[in-house]
Structure 1
Amino acid sequence: MTDRRPSLDAVQLGVYFALMEVAGLLRHAVEQQLREAGDLSYVQFQLLARLGLDSPTGSERMTDLADGVVYSRSGLTYQAGLLEKAGLVTRTPSADDERGVTVTITDAGRALLAEVLPGHVEVVSRQLFQPLTRADTEALADLLSPVRDHMRSSPPRSAAPRRRR
């Protein structure tokens, strides 16, 4: 009888552990910088960055934000509430979905994002890109992009149907 369970060979296992370690170390360094520079969590920074840098209007639906940052609806609601209490975002009912909520970055949110972003970029540059050549960076992008796209092809957690209680 043959064992048909999926397995990883030694190289795949090594890549997996290296990737997890790199991600963990980078996230730790980034979170430390964000706490020191702006008293922000990583998720809060992601929300402000998506609204302030990626969104042409500075607004996004809560569900789209949750999908983008790969965070639960309830967790994102809590984080957005903290940002709203600090005056960094506003939340309003969505114009096109009566059950939806739109989050908008405020001027104070943009100012804090501008304050923490240079240090964030410096940490990412130093920790992730300093040991790599430009060719290494391009190769890494070529390797990670299809993996990310493959993982994103499944519905994100926030798009999954809610369980009835």
Structure 2
Amino acid sequence: MSIPEPAVTPAEMQAWAAIFETSNTVQYAADRELRGSVGLSLAQFEILARIGEGPGSARRMTDIADELTVSRSGLTYQIGQLEQRGLVERRPAAGDERSVMAHLTPAGRDCLTKGVPGYVRLVRGMLFDRISAEDLATVTRILGSVRTELKTQPKRSTFRRTRGPGGSATTPTRS
């Protein structure tokens, strides 16, 4: 089987594999850690953390979706799960009736406080303790630049999925 052009070089493939596999390994371990310590998935914990970082421990839901590069519907589902557990509340945004704010509850703040130490310990042990400060600065500079450039692309939260023949999901289209 031939690989269609443009093919990646062996060095590019090694770099991609290192980024992909490292990210997946750390995320999987963090997900297990958080499910065990606070009963939340990594995705749910990251949502709580983003809300907790906002002014007054509140964030506009579309802003959270854009930051975490998740769909609005996916975020709405996760917020619903967190709301059922009493960790967040949804309220209309002041001055913008179309926007919804997610507010961290005291129980949500307690959950973050309980989960952060193990999460940080895990990420530090699996990643940061294994690379030098110089390499960390280089990785941050390079991937930070790529991330900044990618953030200029249309936000995932603005796409809606379409259904193809037989009801299968196809490439997202702009809404």
C-alpha contact (below 8 Å) 1:88/1:105 kept by paired residues: yes
Cross-structure match for 2:11: 11
Gaps of 5+ in 2: 162-172
Gaps of 5+ in 1: none
Q: What SS does the corresponding residue of 1:93 show, helix, strand or coil?
A: strand
Shift of 1:153: 1.3
Shift of 1:112: 0.6
Percentage identity across aligned positions? 39
Shift of 1:97: 2.4
C-alpha contact (below 8 Å) 2:71/2:156 kept by paired residues: yes
* Mapped pair 1:127 → 2:126: yes
Count residues with an aligned counterpart. 161
Structure 1 pair 14/116, CA: closer, same or farther in 2 (3 Å)? Answer: same
TM-score (norm 1): 0.90
Shift of 1:96: 2.7
Shift of 1:95: 2.0
CA distance in 1, matches of 2:136, 2:63: 29
C-alpha contact (below 8 Å) 1:88/1:107 kept by paired residues: yes
Q: What SS does the corresponding residue of 2:70 show, helix, strand or coil?
A: coil
CA displacement, residues 61-98 of structure 1 (integer Å, 9 cap, x when unaligned): 11111111111111111110111111100001222322
Cross-structure match for 1:64: 63
Q: What SS does the corresponding residue of 1:40 show, helix, strand or coil?
A: coil
Give the partner amino acid of 2:31: E
Cross-structure match for 2:42: 42
CA distance in 2, matches of 1:129, 1:72: 30
C-alpha contact (below 8 Å) 2:71/2:159 kept by paired residues: no
* Mapped pair 1:21 → 2:21: yes
Structure 1 pair 164/154, CA: closer, same or farther in 2 (3 Å)? Answer: closer
Shift of 1:164: 9.4
Cross-structure match for 2:84: 85
CA displacement, residues 120-155 of structure 1 (integer Å, 9 cap, x when unaligned): 000000001111111111111112111111111112
